[in-house]
Amino acid sequence: MNAASLIAEAWISLGKNKVRTALSMLGIVIGVGAVITLVAMAQATKMRVEAEIARLGDDWMFIGSWGMPTSGVRRTDMERKPQQTRDDADAIMRECSAVRAASPSNRLTMQVRSSYGNYQTNVQGVYPNYHDIRRWGVISGRELEEADESQKRPVCVIGLTPAAELFGSVNPIGEEITVRNNRFKIVGLLDFKGVSDGRDSDDVILFPYSTFERKIAGTEVSKTIMAAAAFGVDPKVAEDQIRRLLRQRHNLREGDADDFRIRALSESAQVKEESSDSFAWLLGMIACVSLIVGGIGIMNIMLVSVTERTREIGLRMAIGASNVDIMMQFLIEAIVLCTLGGIIGMFGGWGFSHVLTSFKGYETYVSYWIAAIALGFAFATGVFFGFYPAWRASRMDPIEALRYE
């Protein structure tokens, strides 16, 4: 018999008991639908992580003294001189070939006033290259410039959150804000950055570092440096160069512990990617369990079908059907059952993913390859779990099968 005849006969056989066929397919439908829905959720999570990494970059790092011991000899050392100074940042720019940009960073929380209201936000003094380090562009106006730094201009670039709080729907470009009784002109509006590590990255106002130190920071000195690796250079190389330079500048002897810490964002980005991959695998494994359960149900139903149709098998053998013909007949039935269930489950999972996104706000992303793989799994389930019942049917003795009541 050719394949078309086998498929047609399988379709007729399955149609003789529609309720049992539908219940048998239900496990595959649920399994494939679960695979598509859960993997779509995991894929959306992975894409969100990748977009965040692309937006924020993974080639920059903090250099600071957070978490360092503050007792005994170490405390005396740290009080003797401020670490991670402006001079250190300048030295990193001059002497570290693997670094494309470095900036001192002084960040405070201050009350800011405008003609329309007041708001407490993060104010930060940085070099103009901070825009490059953090990939913080502007959507209107301009970024901080070298002339702003060298001439100590009273200007700033404002984030979306304080802009909305201080000016509402008014365009902030050209407006002025007051910080510590000093007035500053807004020259740029930062682009959207969103929430990262639980912090609103849009809740910030940037000032030229020299202006910030003179008019806002007062006695608060910077103890943090931001640096970014040169394009195409492994951030680890830049990190090693910075560590060696700072140890030299801080007069640390061999064997002395660092009096600073470096937190590379590449490590955080890698952890986020690994976490999203693990999440995807976990959801995929959970969904595959549903397919396995559905496959076991298919095997059980096919074994029952073989038992019920023992006389039919014996009759077919008696009129010339070979063992291969019998095996293929039942194997095709299992494959048709699973493939049909897979198609229904594929559209069901696709539709459910759309419902989750449209009405519940869950991020999902269904790609064609996910649907194709899920359908392939359904086909493979039919082959795997249908083989034993088909093989068992093909091994029957035709005389014993004809005697079966």
pLDDT in tens, 221-266: 777 899 998 988 888 899 899 999 999 988 888 888 888 888 877 5
**Could you tell me if 375 and 281 lie in one domain?**
yes
Same domain, 359 and 392: yes
Range of the domain at 74: 66-259
What predicted TM-score, i.e. pTM, was given to this entire model?
Answer: 0.60
Instruction: Identify whether residues 144 and 86 lie together within a single domain.
Output: yes
57: in domain: no
pLDDT at 96 over 90: yes
How many Å apart are CA 74 and CA 79, to the nearest integer?
9
Among 228, 259, 290, identify where a domain stops. Answer: 259
> Within this chain, do residues 70 and 202 fall inside the same structural domain, yes or no?
yes
Residues 248 and 379 placed together within one structural domain of the fold:
no
Residue with tokens 């999570």: 45
Do residues 25 and 77 share a domain?
no
Residue 264, domain member (yes or no): no
Lowest mean pLDDT among 56-60, 95-99, 155-159, 330-334: 56-60
**Do 244 and 332 sit in the same domain of this protein?**
no
251 and 333 together in one domain: no
Beta bridge partners of 99: 229
In a domain, 188, yes or no: yes
Residue 371 falls in which region: left (phi positive, over 0), alpha (psi -120 to 50) or beta = alpha
* Residue pair 188/138 in contact by the 8 Å Cβ criterion: yes
| pLDDT score at 232 | 82
Give yes or no: residues 229 and 301 share one domain.
Answer: no
Question: Is residue 265 a part of any domain in this protein?
Answer: no
Residues 110 and 229 in one domain: yes
Instruction: Please report the pLDDT score of residue 79 as a whole number.
Output: 46
Backbone phi and psi for residue 131, each to the nearest 5 degrees, phi listed first = -60, -40
> In 3D, which of 144, 154, 242 has the Cα closest to residue 190?
144
Domain count across the chain: 2
Q: How far apart are CA 324 and CA 373, in angstroms?
A: 29
> Angle at CA 325, nearest 5°, toward 319 and 327?
125
Say whether both 169 and 223 belong to one domain: yes
Measured N-to-C along each axis, helices 265-308 and 235-249 cross at an angle, to the nearest 10 degrees, of 150
Same domain, yes or no: 148 and 212 = yes
Residue 58 within any structural domain of the chain:
no
What is the rounded distance in angstroms from the CA atom of residue 210 to the CA atom of residue 127?
Answer: 8
In a domain, 339, yes or no: yes
Please determine, for residue 193, whether its predicted confidence score (pLDDT) is greater than 50. Answer: yes
Q: Which domain-ending residue is among 239, 259, 279? A: 259
pLDDT of residue 72: 44
> Is residue 59 domain-resident?
no
pLDDT digits (tens, 9 = 90+) for 137-146: 999 999 999 9
Q: Is 118 part of a structural domain of the chain?
A: yes
355: pLDDT strictly greater than 70: yes
User: H or E stretch including 163?
Assistant: helix 160-167
Domain boundary among 207, 227, 259: 259
Residue 113 — pLDDT band, cuts 50, 70, 90? very high
Reduced to 3 states (helix: H, G, I; strand: E, B; else coil), residue 384 is helix
Asked if 109 and 71 touch (Cβ cutoff 8 Å), the reply is: no
pLDDT of residue 98: 92
